[in-house]
Every structure is written in structure tokens, then in C-alpha cells.
């Protein structure tokens, strides 16, 4: 249901909170071979996408996007998620939940100025070091009284849900905000 939420109520903030339905469909339509595309640690980029060309015991020959062939230990490679998981709002839903996939998801969302992402019960925020219109009154109103799963990731969703839970169960409540 949350995928088809009418984002108009978020005003100008909508594009900083969730991909459009068309953008989501485009990501899901890409071809992907999960047996060949993997992540490789890289000093400059943290991880780079490579394609497995040959397996030989614990050594694997991979090809980088710029056409270089490298022989690496198979244990250094991390599985990659299919494109349908690109820019996922809750990283706990990733098929392959590994460091490379988490960093890739956060980087892709940040590149679109979508700075909030869930990781299970937590909300991860990547500081954009610029003003974004995601803290306006219409945005506060759009999150008020809504379930977290029905709205895009945002600190307002976390705060509103915590407040609602506090009202429902006044004893035995604790909250950690960092």
C-alpha cells in the first residue's frame, strides 16, 4: 500500500522523500544476473561492482566496469542485490544485507537527495549539508497519525509513532534518540 501513497500531500518535499512510481518501475525492469554481479572491496570507493568471469578454487577472476581483470579471493566478494531493491526505503528488506549493499543503497538515495532510510527499527539520516524542504508544516501534517509503513522514511514518522505508542502504553516506555 505504501508504494501507491499520494505524495501530493508532502508538497515540494515529495521528491526528497520517495522515488516516483515511474522511477520505482524503471529500477525493477533492469536485467540482472545474481550469479555474476558482486561487490569487491576498493580503496577509493569502499566497494565497486564487478562481474565474475571465472571461478578457480578460492580465486576468482572478475572484470571491473572499466574493463580491468583482477584475480581476487572469493571470500572478499559480497553478493549484490537485484536492481528491484535499488533505493529501498527499508534496508532490512534487502535480500543480501551486507556492508557493500547498505553503503550502495545509502549512496544511491543520497545522490537523489533522499536522506532518510530505514534499517529495520532505526532511521538512518545522511546529512546533506544543505537545506531541503522536508521539515515544513505540510510534511509534519502528512506524518501525523500515520503508521510508519504507510509513509516514506523520515524522523517525523519515528517521532509520531513514538508519541502514539507513549499515549497507548504510558508505563514501560523508553526512547533513545541519537
Per-residue pLDDT of the chain (178 residues; tens, 9 = 90+): 344 467 888 989 999 999 887 877 777 777 777 679 999 999 999 999 999 999 998 999 999 999 999 999 999 999 999 888 889 999 999 999 999 999 999 999 999 999 999 999 899 999 999 999 999 999 999 999 998 888 999 999 999 988 888 888 766 555 555 5
Quote the CA–CA distance of 107 and 20 in Å, as a whole number: 18
Neighbours of 168 (CB within 10 A): 8
Which residue from 26, 34, 73 is spatially nearest to 51, judged by alpha carbons? 34
105, 87 in Cβ contact below 8 A? yes
Global pTM exceeds 0.75: yes
DSSP secondary-structure letter at 146?
-
**Grid cell for residue 115:** 536522506
* Ordered structural domains, the chain, with CATH: 2-29+83-168 (3.40.850.10), 37-79 (2.30.30.360)
Residues contacting 3, CB < 8 A, separation 6+: 21, 24
Amino acid at each position: 500500500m505504501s508504494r501507491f501513497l499520494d505524495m501530493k500531500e508532502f508538497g515540494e518535499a515529495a521528491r526528497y522523500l520517495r522515488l516516483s512510481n515511474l522511477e520505482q518501475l524503471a529500477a525493477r525492469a533492469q536485467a540482472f544476473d545474481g550469479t555474476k554481479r558482486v561487490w569487491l572491496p576498493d580503496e577509493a570507493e569502499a566497494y565497486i561492482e564487478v562481474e565474475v568471469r571465472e571461478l578457480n578454487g578460492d580465486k576468482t577472476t572478475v572484470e571491473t566496469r572499466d574493463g580491468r581483470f583482477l584475480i581476487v579471493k572469493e571470500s572478499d566478494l559480497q553478493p549484490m542485490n537485484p536492481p528491484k531493491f535499488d533505493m529501498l526505503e527499508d534496508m532490512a528488506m534487502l535480500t543480501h544485507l551486507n556492508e557493500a549493499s547498505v553503503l550502495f543503497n545509502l549512496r544511491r538515495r543520497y545522490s537523489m537527495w533522499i536522506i532518510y532510510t530505514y534499517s529495520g527499527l532505526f532511521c538512518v539520516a545522511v546529512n546533506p549539508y544543505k537545506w531541503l524542504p522536508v521539515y515544513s508544516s505540510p510534511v509534519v501534517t502528512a506524518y501525523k497519525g500515520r503508521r510508519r509503513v504507510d509513509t516514506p522514511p523520515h524522523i517525523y514518522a519515528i517521532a509520531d509513532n513514538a508519541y502514539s505508542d507513549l499515549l497507548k502504553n504510558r508505563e514501560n516506555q523508553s526512547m533513545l534518540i541519537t
